Amino acid sequence: MESQLFTEAIINTLVLSSMYILVALGFALLVSIVNILNLAHGVIYMLGGYICYLFIGSLGLNNWLALGITIIAMAILGIFVERYAFRRFTGDFERSLVICIAITLIIQTTVNIIAGTKNMAIPTFIEGNLHLGSVTVSWERLIIFVIGIGFLLVLIWLVNWTKLGRQMRAIAQNITGAKLQGINIFRISAFACALGFAFAGIAGSLMGSYLSLSPYMGDTMLTKVLIIVMVAGFGSTGGILITGFILGALDAFLPLWVSGAGSTGIVLAVIIIILLFRPQGFFGHEA
């Protein structure tokens, strides 16, 4: 029994970490390239889950096809929001926060009106379990981890080894210098926003199957993302990978010994202490 619980915690660590990192990297893209602290990122994550549920539950589409369409829909939404909301308030911190709060309220209220507040779940992507001796692991969680890691690798490759990635890094380092080099700032910002929204939608869809859907599920994810980015340090992609894994491990293992509310309190206390002594995070610079 103990080996089963330990294995479950390890698998939960891998699943949660991959999803936290996926959403956090999308959030970090918007901060560094679009120059927007997107506090609406949590509801974007939630919306992705509900859109995927709509395609599967109401339109009867195959899970994988619904996931693919959801990714495209969220990317298009990201381009739209960047063009008609974020672009107008780039560099204006107060007004950008107001527009993010407005987006959050509009999306959350709309989902509440249409779907209600009851929890729902996306049908499982893969049925059955993997049996390893006395240990049993669901294929659902394994495939979520594999998909999460796959998209993370794609993002790392894109940022580090493509022309678009070099342009994104140039904008993040010095936007004025990037403009002087002839880089189309608005095109790259729209692309970064599309990526960030798409990754949030992927995570929302997969977590809607792994856990459940709720109009307020984005609030919890946004808290996790802010913790990861702050502890990692703004501007540190490698730091996000490390802190995302650590937070996933804490969320997976602490409930084995401490009740849900208690484990959350311990995590928050540790984060507060870390930020009091090192406000710039472990790997980046102070925001």
- DSSP for residue 130: E
Provide mean pLDDT across the span 47-62: 92
Under a CB-based contact definition with an 8 Å cutoff, are residues 114 and 54 in contact?
A: no
Question: Taking residues 113-129, what's their average pLDDT?
Answer: 83
User: Phi-psi bin for 60: left (phi > 0), alpha (psi -120 to 50), beta?
Assistant: left
Averaged pLDDT score across all residues of the chain:
85
Dist. CA 234–CA 287, nearest whole Å = 6
Tell me: the pLDDT tens digits for 156-168? 888 888 888 888 8
DSSP 122: P
- Candidate ranges 118-132, 191-205, 236-250; pick with highest mean pLDDT: 191-205
Residue 208 CA, chain-centre distance (Å), reads 13
Mean pLDDT over 225-246 rounds to 83
